[in-house]
Every structure is written in C-alpha cells, then in structure tokens.
Amino acid sequence: MVAKPGLDGHDRGAKVIARALRDAGMEVVYTGIRQTPEMIAEAALQEDVDVVGMSILSGAHMALFPRVTELLRENDMEDVLVLAGGIIPDEDVPALHEMGIQGVFGPGTPTDEIIRFIRENAA
C-alpha cells in the first residue's frame, strides 16, 4: 500500500512508485493524499497488506510516522514492512529505523532499488 500522510498534496512521487511497483508485478493499493495515521493503519488492516510505503514532503514525518507504526503494532501488524520516502533529512533516518521503519528512500532513489528491497524484506 502506498499512502500519503500529512497535508502536502504532492503525490507525483507516490504515483511514480505505485506505477513502478505495479510494473514489477505487485498489487498496489493507493490511498490518495491527506491521510491521517489512523486512516493509513485502518486501510492497511482491511487490505491485509504486506508493505506500507509512506511518502511525505511537508516535514511532518517525525510526528506522523511513529503514530502509524504504533497503530500497526496495536493491530498485530508488526510483521508489515514499513517504508518511507519523500523529503527526509539524513539525521532523522536512525530514529525512523528505531521506530520500525526499515527502509528510507529519498529523492532520486532508483525504483529498482526499492523493488529489490521489498522483495528481500517483505513477509
């Protein structure tokens, strides 16, 4: 599932990723923009997804991502692979890993790298 938490409406990157994953043979649920952590966790639960990828460009990642991983844990979904993308400063990456976001992919990451990461790490 590709989700856009927060209030920025720039989902071109998210759509490019969704399309690349589709072309790699994956079924991608795209939630659209302006999703709350609650909406993302509930959609992940209903769709029974293997991977949640979130893209955020507004800088609110340190506020929103922990809430998503917390809700996933509450739903017994800690085995879901959580990835992040968008504008995320390098210094935040260790903290994101800490909270269970296994992969962080910034602008310019080749889509092949993300696909490979998912194939190697998804349940």
Partner 1 sequence: MTDRLAELVLTGRRRAIARAISLVEEEGPNAQATLAALHPHTGRAHIVGVTGPPGSGKSTLVNALALHLRQDSVESPAITVGIIAVDPTSPFSGGAILGDRIRMRDLAGDRGVFIRSMASRGNLGGLAWATTGAVKVLDAAGYDLIIVETVGAGQAEVDIARAAHTTVVVEVPGLGDDIQAIKAGILEIADVFAVNKADLEGADHAVMALNMMLNLNAGAECRVMMHHGRLIETVTTAHREQDMAIDASGWRPSIHKTVATRREGITELAEAVLAHRAHLEHTGELAWRERERAGAELEAIIQQESLRRVLEDTAKGQLASLIDQIVQRQLDPYTASRQLLNE
The encoded tokens of residue 93 equal 């990456």
Q: Is 48 in the site for partner 1 (CB under 8 A)?
A: yes
Q: Is 55 in the site for partner 1 (CB under 8 A)?
A: no
Give burial (CB, 10 Å; 0-12/13-18/19+) of 5.
Answer: buried
- Cβ at position 90, least distance to partner 1 in Å: 31
Q: Which of 13, 14, 30, 54 binds partner 1 (CB under 8 A)?
A: 30
Collapsing DSSP to helix, strand or coil, 25 comes out as: coil
Q: How far apart are CA 79 and CA 48, in angstroms?
A: 11
Interacting stretch for partner 1, rule CB under 8 A, among 46-54, 62-70, 88-96, 105-113?
46-54
- Cβ at position 6, least distance to partner 1 in Å: 14
- Cβ at position 122, least distance to partner 1 in Å: 14
Binding to partner 1, residues 59-118 (CB under 8 A): 75-77
Q: Which of 16, 39, 62, 99 binds partner 1 (CB under 8 A)?
A: 39
* CA 19 from centroid of its chain's CA atoms: 15
- 77 φ/ψ angles, rounded to the nearest 5 degrees: -115, 35
Q: How far apart are CA 68 and CA 44, in angstroms?
A: 10
Applying CB under 8 A, the residues found at the interface with partner 1 are: 18-19, 21-32, 34-36, 38-39, 42-43, 45-48, 75-77
